[in-house]
Every structure is written in C-alpha cells, then in structure tokens.
Chains A and B, each alone.
Chain A
Amino acid sequence: MDDIKVNQNPKLGSMDRPNSYIGRSLPRENAKKHLEGGGQFVDDLVLPRMLHVAFLRSPFAHAEIKSINVEEAKTSLGVFDVYTSKEIDEYCTPWVGTLGHLGEMRSPEQTPLAEKIVRWQGEPIAVVIANNRAQAEDALELIEVDWEEKDAQVDMETALDDNAVIIHPELGSNLFWTRTVNQGDVNQAFETSHAVVETTLDFARHTGVTLESRGIVADWNKAEGKITIYHNGQAPHMMQHIIAKHLEINEGLVRIVSRDVGGSFGIKVHVYPDEMAVAAISKKLGRPIKFIADRLESFTTDIHARCHKISGKLGIDKEGKILAMEINDLSGIGPFSMYPRTSAIETNQVLNLSGAPYVIPNYKAVGTVVFQNKTPMCQYRAVGHPIAVAITEALIDKAANKIDIGLSEIRKKNFIPDNAYPNKTPSGVPLEDLSHQASMDKLLTMMNIQEIEKEKIANLDKNVLSGYGVISMCEVTNPSPLFYGVGGAHISSQDGASIRLEGSGAIHLSSSITEQGQGTEAIMKQIAADQLGVSMDSVRVTLGDTDATPYGGGTWASRGAGIGGEAVLKAARTLKDNILDIAAAIMQTDKNSLDVENNTVIRKNGGEGITLQQLAETVYYRGHELPKGTNPELLATASFLIEGIPFVFTNSAMGCKVSIHQDTGIIKIDKFWAVEDCGTQINPKLVEEQIRGGVIQGIGGALFEECVYDDQGNMQNATMADYLVPMAYEMPDIIVDHVTTNSGRSIIGAKGAGEAGTGGAPAVIMNAINNALNQLGKEVVSQPITPEKILRALGKI
C-alpha cells in the first residue's frame, strides 16, 4: 500500500487501522480486466435471432424529402425490411427537449426518423434491418430519395437576422432560449471604474470522441411484455423512463443494462433518434436489434458542444479590484434542443459560473441560444465551464496588464476569501467550502514564475515566444434536484447503494452510479471495504442494471463519488451495525466492545472473535442458534441526495507555460500545473487521472478540436484522421496537487473532480498564449488556437 495520503477527514477515522482504504491510491481491478480484453461492451453482445441496422442519413444540412422509395433496398441480399418514419412512428411517440424551470424554451417535437424535412447533415430518415451491418449498408445505397435542397442556416451569428432561414416556421424565429442575469448596476459601476477592459472570444464546436462509439441492443420479449435494452449510456434509470414513456411500455417492464462503457463525457447521457428507432424496431419485430454507431456517425450525430461567441467587459478600480463584469454569450445548438436535459444548460452554466471565484458586486450576463442547421449540441464534459472560465480569466489578464500588476496579484485581490464561505457567485448561486486563496498560493509555489519570466526574455532571441498563465475556477459537481428534476425531467438526483453479506462471507455491493472507465467501481469498493472492515478483494460490485441496482441518477456532472459514494458509506455503516448486533448476540457481549477488522468481528479488548463467514453461516443456515428476536438482516440499503443548494462546488487553480515558434506558429505546452480542492479524495490516483484526462480534453478544445463545416452545413472532417484530438506527443507533463476542504454536505466530504481539467485548461492555455503574444502586442481570441491563427495574429500571413 504505497502512496499513502493523509485522509484529512476526522469523520472517517484514522488511516492507521486495518482496512482503511479511503484516501489510498489503490490499483483498480477492472483496469486489468480491460487490459486482458475481458470487458463486455454492447458490441460484444450476440443474442439469438438478432438483426442489425444501418441508417440512411441526410447528406444535406437542410432539405425536403419529396419522395422516398425503399422497394429496391428491400430486395437486397440479407435485408429483412426497410422502414421510414411511417413505420417507426407507430411504435414511438415524439419528444420535446424543453424543461420548465429556466424560463421559456421553444423546441419542436422530434421523432426518431425525419419525415419530410431534414435539418442537419446526419439526421436519420430511413433504416435498413438486415442480417449484418455490411448488408444493411449495401441496401442503403439502393434507397432512392428525391431531395429538394433548401438554404441552410449554418452560421449562428446570423440566425436571428431578418433574412435568416427560419428552421422551424411554426416558431417564427430561430430563437430557442434566452436568459438575463442582473445583479447590481453594471452601467453605473463601469462609469465609475478606473479602467474598463473588453474582449470577445470564439469557441468552435467540438465533440466528445468516446473510445467506444454509441451502441444499443434492444430486445423486446412479447411474452413477458418486457423490453431489455443493452445500452452504453450513463443514466440507466433515466433511459428506463424514456423508453417506457415513448414506447408505451409499463416502466417496471423496461430493463436497461449498461455493462462496460468505453468513455462517455456526457455524450451518452442524451436521447438519440437512432437509438429510439432501434427500440421501436425491436418492439415491432419482437427480435433483438443491434445498432453500433460507426465513427462517421459519431462525428455527425453524437452531440457537439461549445459553439459560443462571448463578449465581456470588466471594470476595475485603481488597485485592480473588480467593480463590475458584463458578458453577452451567443450559442448555436443545431436544429433541436436535446432531450431530456435540453440544450440550454451550457449557456445557463456560462451565465452562472462566469466570475465565480471572485467578489464582483455588479454583474450582468445575457445568454442567447439559437437554432442552426448543424448537428445538435448539448452537455459535454465541463458544461459551459470552458467558456465561463476563459472569458473571466481573459478579462482579468487584460485588467492586470492595463494597470500593470501581476497576474496572480490581481486574482488574489479579488478572490472570495477562503474564510468567507458560505457565499455566492456574482450571478447569485450559493457557494460553500472553497479555497481559491490556498489553491493559488500552492500553485505559485509549484510554478516558480520568476524563472519563467527570465526564460521568456531569453527565448525571444531564439525566435520563440514564451508565456504563462494562472487561473482560478469553480467546478459544478454533485447537483441537487434543482438541476433537472425541478424542471420536470425524470432524472434522479438521488442515488442508492445496496450492500449485503453473503453466506460465503463475501460482500456484494450494488449502486445506481455507473462506470465508463473512471474507476467508479474501485472507489465504491474502497468505501464499502473501509467502512465494513473487510479486505478489498472480498467486495464484489454490480452497476448499470435497472433490474439489479437501486434506483438513481447514474454518472454525470461529477456526482459519482460525492453522491453515490455517500450512499455506499451509509449503507455500509448500517450493515456493519447490523453485523455487530448479531455478533453481540452470538458472542454474548456488549456491541460496543466489538468491531470488524479484516473480515472478522473482533473483541476490542482481545479474545477470540468470529469471522464474517461464520457469522453469515450462522444467520443463513443455522438461524435457530441465534437468540430469539435477533434481527437477521444482512442487507442494508441507503440513499443520498444533496439538499438545499443547487450544487456542491469544487475549485481549482491552474497554471501553464507555453512556447510558440514564431515562424511556424506551432504551440508547445511546456508544462501544466493543477491544484484541485475536491475535498476528501477517496482514491488520489483516480482523482489525478481525472484531472489529467480532463486537462488533455481541455487541450483538445484549446488547440486542436473543431467540427469544421462548410457554408452549406457539411461537416468537413468527420474522421479520426481529420478531426484532431491530442495524442501522447501533445500531452505535456501535468503536475497535480491538492488543497483539501471537505464538503460539509456529506460524511465523506467528497466533491466531484471530473470536469475541472476540461473546464480550466482552455482558459489557462489561451491566457498563456496571449501572455506570450503580448510581448509583440498581439493576441488570439478564437479556439482552437491553430498555428495558422497564430501566424495570422503575428502578421506573418
């Protein structure tokens, strides 16, 4: 057990007792399984009588289907049938991606297959059902469609113009949603400011690029009236409700199974038309149907994210104290708001989170979300954070430069002090248990900025522009019912855990949290074993099966450890209590003189104990030996949810140093530093993996990733060769450290840690680049920051 970290949470007991696993970097067992190729993903599943599908997708961003002829395709080798919206709509009711708690949202009904009008390139219009995918694809080529191409509204910036193409005529305009936040009086504050700085930033669309693409096998069993859906999603109980509602099946007879899932990043928590079609087809045919998105389909139909243009203004006094901040954000979400979470949340987070680490007495934020003829956009890892953090931190750097004070100095002047919580974001969202001051201090000791400043000057001679940035940010984690449930979505903010002692002495744990590769199973095991006093290898975990796990929300918004983990802790404590009651009865002693260590009930004062196996055998097989009235319950279930506040926030400070080659525009991230305060770290190594992985995804957004469209709305780079994600060579050293402020909302005290890296990296990288370019009086304002953009900024081309 190397890598022992001090667990700074007194509520969890000391670390030098047997089976103290919370706070240790233990290896996760399921990593070995994957390394051996022993995982079970949706595509591994082969069911008897299973058929495969391929979708005919719109080649146009906006067009009318004049007619469609599937007759020849039906005769193609291996084809079972070909359906259009007519057949599918009989088995699946339409849905609408709006919620009630955030003001008026306007989005029309959506069906699995488009009937007359297609509104993005990739929208499905017909489906071939065949013996295998290749045969289904062969038949796609035989479907005849008479298209009438329409003008497409591709550019979000002109979507509200008078002469815009109106995508949904019944709505009268392309406006989906708008919100204004107004705290204090920004105009007056700008007037009295010593200096006001402004900027406008652009964020390209990008997407999640999960290792395993979306996949589903739907299996309708007519005799039982039950549908089983194997699905690589993040929220099985949400899907259970959705399938029941739209296929009109009793919700109790919908089973969603999500075994191994190869990455999700928020991509897999939404309802996709093709997946709904697959469920409908299974119900229509009474046969298992498989659909696995190929990479081309992933790029044109997985949700995209970002796609923002945001302008901001910051007013400061002489000392650099912030007096006011104003932002105006525009975002384009494709032709529909996604179901059921809506596509308003990213912009909402931008408005909520901008300026969050700082005291900003006057704050105004306007968000506008419009429709366009591109792939639908929705929540992806670090929803809204990159935009909120980038605009805030870009403005702060500009303010610092304006009055010539240090980059960390201006931040320290404006932080909400660590001892001033509970507090609120400038937008009015409650904050508690944060540590911007301590985190920044720690970051600065890691970075050695004086050295970097010296290097900056030395590098100028070598035709290299060096620069650095430091930022602070808040990360939304552990959401309460105020996130979705309050708006009418059937998305649980509660999670459950069930834990039992079996006859063999083994512990079985099930949880409503799911795993997509982040190590959920490992931390659940650690919490259970730690709290029960058993070895790690005696705990077995079941996740991702609505027939087998407690009810709950699943994995998204960095909630697994903080909410799901707390439920495990509570269930384990109850089970242990029951075990001690039974042991006290068997051992004829006072319960308080007993404890559990190494799978054995021990007498604290010495003397012989009994193993959990002996205890379980007694209860299960020889119950008659127990004193009368002993409660034989060796199963405990508990739930947890966050009450009273919308979110539990995590905070981070990040720094980075970059070098830019002046001739080529190539940007190298020399080093990256992150200090994270996520409260108790159940497994520090897994926390650091989350932060590093998040940072890498943030590097992708900042420097590489972009869904490139032409003027007609055709995606130009829908392959892994053309859509650039950072790879090993592009990954810098990422040094991670921590400050620990436990959340007061739970016993464990864990906050989430899954999204800060992705949320903060784009801001700090952009600031570092602009810190470098600023030596020549230049800047870049558009992500991804490509070599060509650098050269254009430098006036080289």
Chain B
Amino acid sequence: MIRMKSIWRVYDTGKVKVEALRNIDLFIQPNEFISIMGPSGSGKSTLMNIIGCLDVPTGGNYALEGKEVSKLHPNQLAEIRNRKMGFVFQNFNLLNYASVYENVELPLIFAGLSFRKRRKRVEEMLDRVGLVERRNHLPSELSGGEMQRIAIARALVNNPSIILADEPTGNLDSVTGKEIINIFEELWSQGNTVVMITHDPEISSRTKRIIKLKDGMIENDEKNHHNHQ
C-alpha cells in the first residue's frame, strides 16, 4: 500500500542543513500494525508526516496505493489527508471551541458530505469509541483518555486507508494509554492499517512490526515475534 524509495528530508535552515531522513526505503502492506521507535530527533515524526502527506520529501519516491504523491499540488495532498489518512496526535489537537460532535464531523465537512450523511457517520464513530452521550460536550470537559478517543473517532470518520498516531499515549497515564492501544489493536483486527510512534517498549511489543530509526535512517525493521496474546 505504501512504497517509499530512498526518501530524503532535508531541512535547510540557512546556515546548516539538517538531514532529518536519509535514504529511507519503506514498504507497508494493508492491515499492518506498526510501531516506529527511536531516540528523540531520529526523524520519527518527520517520517510519519511524510507518510501522512502533511509534508513532502526533499528527494525520493513515495507511492501511495500505486500513485506517486511526492509531486502533488497542496490541494491534492489535502484531499489525500482527508480521505486516506487518519491522524492521532500526542496532544489530541481537538478544536477547543467546538463540541465533541463538531470535532468528529470536521473531516466530513472538508469531504463535502451532506448534513444527514455526516450525522450518521459521526454517531457511528462516537458509538464506536463509546462517547455518544458526550456529543455536546466541549473537549475541555473531557478527560485525556476521552479526548484521545474523540481524536480517534475523528481520525476514523472518513474511513481512512491508514491510521497514523504520533505518540498517542504520550500525554496519558499508563492505564488510559493501554485503553487507547486496545482501541488501535481492535482497529487493526478489523482490517485497518495502524502506524504508531512510541517510546514505550511495552506498547510497541503489542504491535506486529517495529521500525527503529536512528539519525534519520532505518536501523532496524522486523516482525515482532514476541507478540503474545
């Protein structure tokens, strides 16, 4: 589904050039459950942003579902993010003035769905994360775990090809974090593709593939055989 060939991402800050990604080759099949690990500054977020079409590589080729995306117009990238990517962030990134319902609805508005279709989808998603009855609450009225569940509902609402989570448990206590990972695992078992950045070996041990980055290069990429369930 994802095919990356010698991807480079160089930040040109004027004086120095930072090579955040160096010659990355990466293939991701449908219905994989992947964690990306590595020290701070190793390029995890940069790689995820490129996978998610939030950022474009400086060099190399990136084909998503067989289509080259590295040279697309920003509007086309926006469309891909809208339809094929579901982002979950460490700090939730919910709109604090919008209700739970409206937050989940947002990607559907950008997709141009009718009010009726939007309502149906939003309710399905809220049901899925178990927060239907909180639909009219503001994010500030929710706990961290609940906020992240709303963010997951929002990521899923447009039926994306891939769910990208950048340290989704980073701001949560370990119990709540586990609940969130449970949701990801369930999504994977239902056929979704999940890519998640984490520092926590306990969390990565539950994924099926672990990619280790170091200095912008893939240091290690292997199936996780210690998986027990």
B is a partner of A: no
Contact surface of A with B, Cβ cutoff 8 Å: none
Contact surface of B with A, Cβ cutoff 8 Å: none
